[in-house]
Amino acid sequence: MYRPEKRFFTEQDFEDMGWRGNPIHAIAFGPGTDELSLDIDYVFKCEPPATKAGHQTFWVSPATLVFENVGDLTMKSNARAALTILGLERKEIKETRFPGKVWRWRLVCSEGEWGFCATGYRQFIRRPPELVGTARLAPMERGGYDLSCPNR
């Protein structure tokens, strides 16, 4: 049984997190002003095959990833309906609209990429991880679409 240390993450956890292979199930602008919300399956850990003939398994939870104070959004896509995250990168930029740090984010998906500025993110793990055979939970396993995420 795998249990993460916490259920709520922020940009301060960025260096310890990874989103490679995380499917995106839903996208919304909101719930707050200038927020971009993603309903994802977050892969916490990959387990090696139990036998030579076996397959890798994954500890996966449904989660909501919300970027805060989003601006300058650009999207490039090959027009597929599915999105799978390959990587999330950030670079600090100088910006005077917001106090504190502002980042230029690059969300790379197998189907295209998004670029935007944001002051940070919060990610809420909606349920404890389940050990499954793929990095994608079935709709019944994840409880449908959900973009709920508490504030800090």
Neighbours of 87 (CB within 10 A): 13
Q: What are phi and psi of 60, to 5 degrees?
A: -130, 140
Over the stretch 107-120, which tens digit does the pLDDT of each residue have? 999 889 999 999 99
**DSSP category for residue 11:** G
The structure's pTM equals 0.92
Q: Compute the distance between CA of residue 132 and CA of residue 15 in angstroms, rounded to an integer.
A: 25
Radius of gyration, CA atoms only, the chain: 16
Q: Compute the distance between CA of residue 137 and CA of residue 132 in angstroms, rounded to an integer.
A: 8
Over the stretch 83-99, which tens digit does the pLDDT of each residue have? 899 999 999 998 777 77
- Residue 52's pLDDT is what? 79
